[in-house]
Structure 1
Amino acid sequence: MSDQLSPSKKPFLYVVVCAAGIAGDVGKLIAAAQEQQWDVGVVATPQALGFLDVQAIEARTGYPIRSAWRSPGAPRPLPPADAIAIAPATFNTINKWAAGIADTLALGILCEAHGLGIPTAVLPYLNSAMAAHPAYRQSLGRLREMGVLISSSEPHRPKSGGGADRFRWEEALELLAPEVSERQ
């Protein structure tokens, strides 16, 4: 990550996608980011790949979706991130990330982002029964302490179809805007 964004270079946004029913709509966030002059690369948890139209996303972004570590010496397929948006973020990913568990590429990137000072916004997507678990509240608290920007969205009712109509993909960009403008 560069300390300052070059005026001639678009900022680069990593969109980290987790395995949730609405993950297939991540194109909404990608399109909104591109409209705001971001270049975008997608990093998916291994389970999220099954929810995505990989070819469409790669065609839209111009970059391969990353879901596994690259081999030593292999070129980096994405430029360094200027910011990261995790959407949708699942119960599992939020808890592992807050605990410092980096057992997937996506979690490794998120854990490392804190130490690199990369502005990071998360849009949790889970039901209220999962959100009631004490580990989730503790994880959100730890992420806030780390400076992670967290969506104001509320968990949906269990077995309700997920509240996809209320999920505001663009909120990730709204949360990141002040952080990124400070760096320019």
Structure 2
Amino acid sequence: MTTLYLLGSAAPPVLDIVPVIKEAQSVGYDVCLGLTPAAARWLEPRLPELERVTGHLVRSEYKHPGAADAWPRADAALFAPATFNSINAWALGLTNSFVVGFAAEAIGKGIPLVAMPCVNAAYAQHRALDRSVAELRAMDVRVLYGEGGFMPNPSGERHPYPWHLALGAVREVAPPRA
């Protein structure tokens, strides 16, 4: 089975993560869920359910030095939803959260990475976002942003998050194996 690290930031689509996990599992991925601290707080009442669904501890913090890893080795990672803050921190190498730290390290380890931002139109106007997306793409991260990926929503509006695009990209970069 192919191990997929599903990494999520505190953006509204993270609240609907269970069907995404189940979809990934249905095509052959063993899903490990990692969350930014804010996303973990949002989902705190549901963490036991998420652990039952994935069969793994939900992680939002770094492990202690020397501690055994709670997850199997990653074959691929999907960072979605990835907020403005997470995308910019990742591109700059600012690893103050477990999920951003894992994603930054995964680049050097050659682990296939797919990212799909979730930002509103106001954040999309900030030049740092385009620079960060370009920087991640230059490091071989498949960033689904713009045409064929996530399109920013006008501020205050919520549109369906295109999870199908993210999972499709994961299948392309790391096909599931039995």
TM-score above 0.5: yes
Provide the rounded CA distance (Å) in 2 between the counterparts of 1:182 and 1:176. Answer: 9
Question: Which is worse superposed, 171-180 or 89-98?
Answer: 171-180
Provide the rounded CA distance (Å) in 2 between the counterparts of 1:29 and 1:147. Answer: 24
Task: List runs of 5+ in structure 2 lacking aligned partners.
Answer: none
Q: What's the RMSD between the two structures over aligned residues? A: 1.7
**Which of 70, 95, 99 is equivalent to 1:106?**
99
2:165 is the counterpart of 1:171? yes
Give the 3-state SS of the residue equivalent to 1:22 in structure 2: helix
Deviations 1:74-129 (A, max 9, x none): 22100111000011110000000001111111111010010011111111111011
Provide the rounded CA distance (Å) in 2 between the counterparts of 1:80 and 1:47. Answer: 25
CA shift, 1:172, in A, is 1.7
2:118 alignment partner AA: Y
**Which of 43, 47, 50 is equivalent to 1:54?**
47
Match of 2:153 in 1: 156
2:122 is the counterpart of 1:129? yes
Give the 3-state SS of the residue equivalent to 2:31 in structure 1: strand
Aligned-pair identity (%): 35
1:84 alignment partner AA: A
Check conservation: 1:20, 1:51, Cα contact below 8 A.
no
State the TM-score, normalized to the length of structure 2: 0.91
1:146 alignment partner AA: M
Task: List runs of 5+ in structure 1 lacking aligned partners.
Answer: 1-9
